[in-house]
Chains A and B, each alone.
Chain A
């Protein structure tokens, strides 16, 4: 490059902003290796004890199990309903279409605290419903807007004549959808699924109100840190961050992130 060899002001600023954004996480990373039993920075040495302790703590294993369960159920359910809702919103012009669009998007604008409290009150009123069911419903509600948004964006990018062309070539409407539309939005659906899993897995605020005897992983981490001051949670956080980075990397490799941020 023919530009000046050193950092330009713009490059320096960019680097500073990136560092500012990453710094808290880097501190967590550093703290997680601290050999002493305190959440303190800077660390006094290097140790992997707290990583081992993550696996020795039973509430984390149970939390992980509960979080994976919730994330898979809620993303699967919201994917099915999200695709159907997105199809209705994109393909058809009917009375109440805007209202449905607004309703599906509503959880985005309701504070999570409010959602948590509302679900709690509702679950108490409907006594027949189990705690796990309530959590599944809550996570579906949280994840649905993102799924619908992504699927709508993917569907809008498709020429509506593609299915018409398929039908004129002899495909029934369902065949046209499965053979033409589905493969085209397939990658978008995969992206939406990953996004849904991540959103459900990381949810804390609303989930907090509804956890009973089986907390999710973020809630388990919160409960741990209320009684213990050792870097186990820092080690857990680091592992969760790495998993997140891996997910983003794989999505970028397979799908291309621009499909998600449209």
Chain B
């Protein structure tokens, strides 16, 4: 990497951060610890407060309560132009009356960097983002992907302590989006700066970030690596936001140190491993990922100690190439989705037949039962 573009890795701490707009709580008492050099994704539906959180960190939105600390310095009352926070806007917000080069050096000019040094940084940024051929082009003549690269180059030219990216890929078409996903992570890791990326696209969040914070209604619902969120979601909202999930509502019947027995009605018991987080008694939601389930012929022997079994009837089969979606219904009318790899060599199934749906008790996730939306 060129020595002229180096970054100090800084951590970010948010404590009790709240934002109120016209009496509405957009951000509700958020605590978040971001480690130096980490890429965090804020994932959630529109209106969940993720962009507001980004704007609060940038200083564009005044918090109604709470603290923002960047690299050990309190930032809450610091004006945006003194924060040294880089931001890539959803619209890219490139200055239309300036060339690519002028856009990139704007921040350096504002910081009073000498022209000779500006030229060095400009060259480094242009090279890093492969924009050298476009240095004298105006933004209106650039493609979406090029505009995005200029926006990133402009925001890192001042070597900010933190880079904020607001839906950076949403303006790109599907194909380019997929390419840019891994490119963006590679770039951010190469630069090595702490970054927060806001997105409503779970694949984007999982692909780019080290950790993902799932947000809903102004709060962080769960934070963890993609694997954490996928395999151990703490509620239905997270489970549904990252992939598909099958659910049973049930209650805990008996529990030991290692193992819980769950009553899901229909005189049927499921087993699950107990952990520190699982409640000892009462109502729970049992969740199983569709790809964890194997449909077995009725007569096949199954180790009842290691597997849960629910008999169900195959309703439909959708072959999608990479995977096949199998829709089942059990005796109580509960719908169950099973996803099978397209490469599966398992014997073909027949619609209308009954099978035993089996899955390892290890992948049986428990979460607190939620009041069902009527």
Chain A residues with CB under 8 Å of chain B are 159, 161-162, 164-173, 175, 179-180, 183-184
Contacts and interface: CB of A to CB of B under 8 A. Distances in A.
B60 A164 contact: yes
A143 to B, nearest CB: 27
Contact of A168 (B80, B91, B95, B97): B80
B87 A165 contact: yes
Contacts of B85: 168
B96 A170 contact: no
B111 A168 contact: no
B95 A180 contact: yes
A41 to B, nearest CB: 51
A170 B97 contact: no
Given A164-B60, A166-B106, A171 B93 contact: no
A162 B107 contact: no
A169 B106 contact: yes
Contacts of A180: 95
Contacts of B58: 164, 168
29 contacts: A159-B93, A161-B89, A161-B91, A162-B93, A164-B58, A164-B80, A164-B89, A165-B89, A165-B93, A165-B95, A165-B154, A167-B80, A167-B81, A168-B81, A168-B85, A168-B86, A168-B87, A169-B81, A169-B107, A169-B110, A169-B155, A170-B81, A170-B84, A170-B110, A170-B111, A170-B158, A171-B110, A180-B95, A183-B97
A161 B96 contact: no
Interface string B73-104: 00000011101111101010101110000000
Main secondary structure of the interface of B (DSSP, over half): loop
B275 to A, nearest CB: 43
A164 B57 CA distance: 13
B23 to A, nearest CB: 14
Contacts of A168: 58-60, 80-81, 83, 85-87, 155
Interface string B147-167: 000000011001000000000
B155 to A, nearest CB: 8
B92 to A, nearest CB: 9
Given A161-B91, A162-B93, A184-B96, 13 more contacts: A159-B91, A164-B87, A165-B93, A165-B154, A166-B106, A167-B81, A168-B58, A169-B158, A170-B84, A170-B110, A170-B158, A171-B81, A173-B81
Contacts of A162: 93, 95
B62 to A, nearest CB: 13
Contacts of A165: 87, 89, 93, 95, 154
Contact of A164 (B86, B93, B106): B93
Contacts of B95: 162, 165-166, 180
A214 B66 CA distance: 66
A117 to B, nearest CB: 44
Contact of A172 (B81, B155, B158): B81
Nearest to B84: A170
Tell which of B60, B85, B91, B93 has the most Cβ of chain A within 10 Å. Answer: B93
A127 B244 CA distance: 81
B84 to A, nearest CB: 8
Nearest to B111: A170
Contacts of A183: 97
